A = this chain, B = another copy of it.
Amino acid sequence: MEVQAKGHRFWVIPDGYIPPDSRGELVSHESICVLNCGETPAKLGITVYYEDREPLEGIEAIVEGRRTRHIRTSSLESGGERIPAGVPYALTVESDVPVIIQYSRLDTTQPELALMSVMAYPIEN
């Protein structure tokens, strides 16, 4: 299908960080926001790179066809291991069908709210 061809299969987010603290009504968090415009469900394989140890591989997630999913990075998990808060890391996401990915962070460490967002960086493949 033509619409299934929209997007790329490999995306990168170099600046990952789960803020350890929150104040006020909103909880500090990050999300990877995935859009699957096609009919076929997208199977994602996520790798977490750290500064000082081996990557955490084998994290899986599904995004159904014609759906978006805004996935909190704190929910990602592989073999019982999760991404620790307060640690700089980076993410790669591989999908078996083309998708489009944006990364956003909401930080309430100091009493008010800060936001940042980038499109994930697509690698041609």
Tell me the A residues contacting B by CB distance below 8 Å.
6-7, 10, 12-17, 24-26, 31, 33-35, 37, 49-52, 54-55, 66-70, 88-90, 92, 100-102, 104-119, 121-123
Contact = CB atoms under 8 A, between A and B. Distances in A.
A118 B111 CA distance: 24
Contact of A119 (B34, B88, B107, B118): B118
Contact of A12 (B6, B50, B105): B6
A89 to B, nearest CB: 6
A68 to B, nearest CB: 4
Contacts of A52: 67
Contact of A102 (B14, B34, B92, B114): B14
A16 to B, nearest CB: 8
Contacts of A25: 109-110
A88 B107 contact: no
Contacts of A106: 114
